[in-house]
Structure formats: structure tokens, C-alpha cells
């Protein structure tokens, strides 16, 4: 096994072949609450230091920032207490970094959560919480629409670009709105920090889709070329066959199929469920392998100690009663951050964190003052908040063709859920989810009367208007305490916090979606359109303006031979005008249709 040149530590990131499993530690299938509490307190590979915030970080003025983002992932990793499988690359990352066990998404599904990450604003306050806003129009009878944040809002990556960062996305977007041309230097299956200018700091995202829900009913989704791309480190490889799928026989096997998988009490212990548990863990192991290839590239480029590495999932787990719900099983996802030179190595930070905190934290680490419109707070860097977060918040609305209205607030111990449609069942027959074998098994057992009291909870014909859970003693949120007199003080505290949050972000729970669209479009029956930009040159300076408040403006200079830069530049102030060639400009406010692409001859614009 290769070794890190500086530390002598076995360099797992250099090992891209499947790791042979040693005998794993298994968990009893009963998955009792007592065992869950024990695992939370006595984790395998759990770092011992619990107050890393007391140590000051020594960072470059403009560090590189690398995000490694996987999908549909709960805390099923050794450093978070689940030793079912080995994840050598993530285990090294945790040993050299900080483990964050209390990160929560604001939604149990990806697109609203990604809207929060991209904008730094809660999706239920900007029209981004219905999954999906641009489709299912035949079912909803609504037009295709996009989230519309306030005019001052910008995508996080655009602000980083304005401040000199090279920003790449490889490659999922899914923000509930079209990203402006100013958002990225590169966004594609092959976007990479390697294409930046020499010594330019970068913000790079790599999205790993292997752990997605679809991996339970498809072997690996779009994987043939993805695996070659990551494992070979071939960042230039392109092929028309990118979308081909592996077969069941071609699926790499990293995890033994006969392990005693830890099945949560809301799922039955049957063969179809055990099969999905194997697929879930096997997909995690494959993701770990792919992730290791990207870390290998970073180290090969000599950038490891100039880069802050984030690993996290886009929300909680892929299984039924996980994804789309705002129980912890749908919101809690693991996070690891490695700092240059292994600062705070092996530590653990138990503070509550929300995706809404990512944008201010990245700005803070980059030395950029976070804009005032952001709704989260920095938990690291020069602008770190003086007070740790006390609550996290979440919301659930429409999922594909089915609508609900649920809001949640959680502290370190208790979670409060308010159901705005208590007459409606929790379970929604989402067609995509029903392709999962475990979902089919649940429905079969429900109809045959084989489910126990906990497994039946999801299928109740109505919901309690309020729910209160002790998430420490009842981590699966099965025992509603809202009616218990002993918890009325906690209930009242969390009620007030929810009311405060809803008012603060302008959330209107249970607002009919048609009325939401009407508000976003300011009473029009047509999607708003960004005004075309105006271009002028005076005294050798290029001035570009747009009448649409809050529009981002992108521009390119096209040479006389037709050559042009690969990325749009972000216009923020007058700049030196080119002497010849064409000036190409587009304006775009998030949630609006972009303007036309305006092209003028530099000589004629004077």
C-alpha cells in the first residue's frame, strides 16, 4: 500500500481497487433503542476530542475548497457508529479531519436541499420546496415555474467567482431553478479544478450518484463511464456512452450479501428488505472507492495541504420512511471536514448544523464577508458566529404528484413536527419510490396484515396535528410525546420557535401551490422574463446595465477569428472595453427567464 510522503500514514487514497473485507462487526436484527443509544455514544472509530472549536485554524488567505457530495446517505459509516462495512477512504478522511454527526438538510429530498445550499436561503421561503417545480404539470395543473429568491440573492458559486475563485460543478445541479451563466466556470461530467489558471484558488464540487435511491432498484444508474472516469483518474475521457447502465451481473460486489444488516424497527426483517440493505451498503462502499480516486487526484496535484475538504450527503437515507420525510432518518446526513495539514485531526464537533449554514461558512473560510440576505450562520472561518446554532428547521410539501404540508424544528434533544394536513396519511404513493423492493414489500405486508405497530405507523389514515419526539432516547421517532403533560414546556418552546422561523423566512405552510406561483410571478399568468441588457462604451470603459432588479450579468469577449473564452465572466462594474471583436452579454435573475443573448460589435458600441 502506498504511503503519504509527509506522514508515513498508509495512503488509502492511492488504493482504487476494492478493499478486501475483514470480518465485520454485526448488529442484532432487533435494532433496539438501547443499541441505538449505545452506538450513538460508543462509536467505532469515534474521535475523542469533542471541542475542536477551541482551536484556531491556520488557513491560507484564499484556501481551495473541495466538496465531495453523495446522495441519500444516513450515518451508516464507521466513524458515525455503524461498523457494518469498511470505508477506507472516508475513514482516513475522518482520522485526518473533523466528524460532524449533527448536520441536517432542510428537506428530505434533493432539489429543495440543493436550492438551500446554492442560495443560502430556506427553500420553503423562496418557492423551492415543492419537488419538482418544473415537472408534474399534468398532475398538478400548474405551469412549470422556478423558485424566486429576493433580488439581492446570488448563487454561492457566483459570489466566489467574483472574489477570484475558479468554480466547478461535476455535475448535478437540480436547484429548482436554472442557474445563470455566471454561476460556474465549468459545470459538466468533466468539470475539474485542473482547468483553472495557475495558482488560482478553486471551489470544486464532485457529486457521487451511486448511493441514490435509484440504486436500490437499478444496479448503479449511469455508472459504466462514471466508474472509469473516477477510477482511472481520466478527467478528459468523454463518450457518447456516458448514460449506459450496468447490469445486475456487472454490479461490483464490495459487501457480503449475508451480513446481519441493522434493520431499523420501522422496516420488516424479510428477504427483500435485507436485499435492499445489502444494496445500500454496497453502494456506499462503491461511492467510497470513487471518492478515493478524486482525493488521489488532489494529492497527486500537490494540493492536499492547500485545500479544505468537505464530505457530506444531500439529505438522509434512500429507504422508505427515510427519504422525503422530515424525521431524522430523512434529514440527518454525515459530514467530515479535513483542514490543511490535518488540523484538528481525529476530532468530533457535536454542534447542530444546517445546510443553510454552508454558504456563509464557505464565504467565511474564503475571507469573504457573508451577505446579509443569507439565512444561516458561519460555523468556521473569519466570520464564524459567536453563538452556536440552537435549532435546525425543515419542511415537506409536494413530492412529485402528491402534496402534503409539514414543518419541523429540532434542538439537540427534541424535535417538534406540525402537520398542516392531519386528515391526510403520512404515506404518499410516490410512483418513483414504489419501484424500491422494500416499498413493495411494505405494501404487500400492510395488505396482508403482517406489519407490527411500528411498521404500521407510516400507513395511518391520519396524522397527529402535533408531534414531539425525544430524538436521543427515541432515535427512530416512534413515540409521540406531544400529549404527555411532562413535556408541555418543551412543546411550548418549540412551538414558539417554529412560529418565529416561519415568520422570519416568509413561509406560508399549506398555501395552495397555484397561489404560491401567483405570488412568485407577482400576479402575472406568465413567468417573468429578465430584461435585455444595455451595452455602452465611453472613454474606453464598458458599461452594462439591466432594468431587472437583481439580475446577474455575464459577458464574453469574442475575438475577430470567432474564438471566445469557455466561461462567462461576471460583470460587477465598468471594465476596460476591447478594441475590436464582439461583446456578448446575457442577464438573468434567478427564477426568471434569462434575457436574450445580446451581441454587439465593440467598435459600434462606442
Q: Which residue has the cell 446517505?
A: 73
Is 546 one of the catalytic residues?
no
Label the pairing between strands 332-338 and 98-104.
antiparallel
| Strands, E assignment, 373-425 | 392-399, 402-410, 414-419
CB 563 within 8 A of CB 578: no
**DSSP summary character for residue 24:** P
**How far from 552 is each of 84, 212, 588, CA to CA, in Å?**
47, 32, 5
Length of the chain: 606
Q: Which residues contact 259 (CB under 8 A, 6 or more apart)?
A: 24, 26, 84, 278, 281
- Tally of CA atoms within 13 A in the half-sphere of 596 that contains its CB: 5
Report the candidate in 367, 370, 371, 359 with the shortest Cα–Cα distance to residue 150. Answer: 371
d(Cα 299, Cα 14) in Å, to the nearest integer?
A: 9
Report the sign of the C-alpha dihedral through residues 243, 249, 250, 254, in that order. positive
d(Cα 140, Cα 256) in Å, to the nearest integer?
A: 43
| Strands, E assignment, 343-401 | 347-348, 353-354, 392-399
**How far from 160 is each of 114, 182, 271, CA to CA, in Å?**
17, 11, 49
- What is the Cα gyration radius of the chain? 24
Reply yes or no: is the peptide bond before residue 77 cis, omega within 30 of 0. Answer: no
d(Cα 88, Cα 75) in Å, to the nearest integer?
A: 16
**Phi, psi of 461, rounded to the nearest 5 degrees:** -75, -15
Reply yes or no: is the peptide bond before residue 171 cis, omega within 30 of 0. Answer: yes
The x, y and z cell numbers of residue 239, run together, are 463518450
Report the candidate in 374, 483, 355, 370 with the shortest Cα–Cα distance to residue 67. Answer: 355
Considering the candidates 36, 110, 167, 546, report the single residue annotated as catalytic. Answer: 110
The x, y and z cell numbers of residue 457, run together, are 405507523
- DSSP readout, 113-145? HHHHHHHSS-GGGTT--SB-SSS-HHHH-PPP-
The x, y and z cell numbers of residue 135, run together, are 415537472
Q: Which helix (H) or strand (E) holds 307?
A: strand 307-313
Q: Which helix (H) or strand (E) holds 583?
A: strand 582-588
Report the sign of the C-alpha dihedral through residues 120, 122, 127, 128, in that order. positive
Report the candidate in 570, 590, 13, 584 with the shortest Cα–Cα distance to residue 291. Answer: 13
Q: Which residues contact 96 (CB under 8 A, 6 or more apart)?
A: 9, 338, 342, 345, 346
d(Cα 66, Cα 89) in Å, to the nearest integer?
A: 15
Residues serving a catalytic function are 110
Amino acid at each position: 500500500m502506498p504511503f503519504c510522503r509527509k506522514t508515513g500514514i498508509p495512503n488509502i487514497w492511492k488504493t482504487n481497487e476494492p478493499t478486501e473485507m475483514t470480518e465485520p462487526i454485526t448488529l442484532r436484527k432487533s435494532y433496539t433503542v438501547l443499541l441505538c443509544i449505545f452506538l450513538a455514544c460508543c462509536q467505532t472509530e469515534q474521535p475523542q476530542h469533542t471541542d475542536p472549536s477551541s482551536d484556531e485554524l491556520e488557513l491560507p488567505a484564499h484556501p481551495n475548497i473541495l466538496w465531495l457530495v453523495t446522495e441519500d446517505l444516513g450515518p451508516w459509516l464507521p466513524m458515525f457508529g455503524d461498523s457494518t462495512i469498511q470505508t477506507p477512504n472516508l475513514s482516513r478522511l475522518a482520522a485526518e479531519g473533523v466528524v460532524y454527526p449533527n448536520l441536517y438538510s432542510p428537506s428530505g429530498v434533493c432539489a429543495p436541499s440543493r436550492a438551500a445550499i446554492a442560495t443560502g436561503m430556506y427553500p420553503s421561503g423562496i418557492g423551492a420546496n415543492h419537488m419538482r417545480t418544473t415537472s408534474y404539470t399534468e398532475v398538478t395543473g400548474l405551469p412549470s415555474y422556478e423558485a424566486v429568491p429576493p433580488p439581492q440573492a446570488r448563487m454561492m458559486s457566483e459570489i466566489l467567482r467574483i472574489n477570484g475563485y475558479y468554480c466547478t460543478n461535476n455535475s448535478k445541479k437540480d436547484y429548482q431553478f436554472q442557474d445563470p451563466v455566471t454561476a460556474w466556470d465549468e459545470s459538466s461530467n468533466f468539470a475539474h479544478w485542473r482547468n483553472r489558471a495557475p495558482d488560482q484558488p478553486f471551489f470544486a464540487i464532485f457529486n457521487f450518484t451511486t448511493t441514490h435511491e435509484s440504486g436500490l432498484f437499478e444496479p448503479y444508474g449511469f455508472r459504466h463511464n462514471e466508474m472509469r472516469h473516477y477510477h482511472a483518474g481520466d478527467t478528459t475521457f468523454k463518450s457518447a456512452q456516458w448514460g449506459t447502465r450496468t447490469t445486475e451481473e456487472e454490479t461490483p460486489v464490495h459487501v457480503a450479501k449475508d451480513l446481519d444488516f441493522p434493520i431499523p424497527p420501522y422496516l420488516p426483517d424479510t428477504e427483500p428488505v435485507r436485499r435492499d440493505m445489502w444494496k445500500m451498503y454496497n453502494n456506499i462502499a462503491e461511492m467510497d472507492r470513487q471518492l478515493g480516486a478524486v482525493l488521489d487526484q488532489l494529492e497527486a496535484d500537490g494540493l492536499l495541504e492547500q485545500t479544505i475538504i468537505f464530505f457530506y450527503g444531500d439529505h438522509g437515507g434512500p429507504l422508505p420512511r427515510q427519504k422525503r420525510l422530515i424525521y431524522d432518518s430523512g434529514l440527518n446526513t454525515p459530514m467530515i471536514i479535513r483542514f490543511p495539514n490535518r488540523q484538528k485531526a481525529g476530532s468530533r464537533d457535536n454542534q447542530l448544523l444546517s445546510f443553510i449554514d454552508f454558504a456563509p461558512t464557505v464565504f467565511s473560510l474564503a475571507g469573504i464577508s457573508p451577505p446579509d440576505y443569507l439565512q444561516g450562520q458561519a460555523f468556521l472561518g473569519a466570520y464564524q458566529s459567536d453563538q452556536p446554532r440552537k435549532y435546525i428547521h425543515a419542511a415537506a410539501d409536494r413530492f412529485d404528484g402528491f402534496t402534503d404540508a409539514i414543518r419541523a424544528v429540532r434542538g439537540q434533544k427534541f424535535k417538534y413536527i406540525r402537520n398542516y394536513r392531519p386528515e391526510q396519511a403520512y404515506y404518499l404513493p410516490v410512483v418513483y419510490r414504489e419501484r424500491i423492493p422494500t416499498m413493495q414489500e411494505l405494501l404487500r405486508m400492510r395488505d396482508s396484515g403482517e406489519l407490527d405497530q411500528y411498521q404500521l405507523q407510516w400507513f395511518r389514515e391520519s396524522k397527529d396535528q402535533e408531534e414531539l419526539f425525544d430524538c436521543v432516547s427515541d432515535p427512530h421517532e416512534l413515540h409521540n410525546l406531544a400529549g404527555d403533560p411532562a413535556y408541555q414546556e418543551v412543546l411550548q418552546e418549540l412551538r414558539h420557535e417554529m412560529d418565529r422561523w416561519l415568520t422570519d423566512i416568509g413561509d406560508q405552510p399549506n398555501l395552495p401551490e397555484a397561489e404560491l406561483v401567483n405570488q412568485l410571478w407577482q400576479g402575472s399568468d406568465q413567468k417573468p422574463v429578465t430584461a435585455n441588457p444595455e451595452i455602452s462604451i465611453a472613454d474606453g470603459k464598458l458599461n452594462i446595465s439591466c432594468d431587472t432588479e437583481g439580475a446577474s450579468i455575464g459577458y464574453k469577449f469574442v475575438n475577430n477569428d470567432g474564438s471566445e473564452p469557455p466561461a462567462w465572466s461576471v460583470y460587477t462594474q465598468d471594465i476596460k472595453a476591447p478594441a475590436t471583436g464582439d461583446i456578448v452579454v446575457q442577464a438573468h435573475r434567478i427564477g426568471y427567464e434569462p434575457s436574450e443573448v445580446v451581441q454587439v460589435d465593440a467598435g459600434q458600441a462606442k
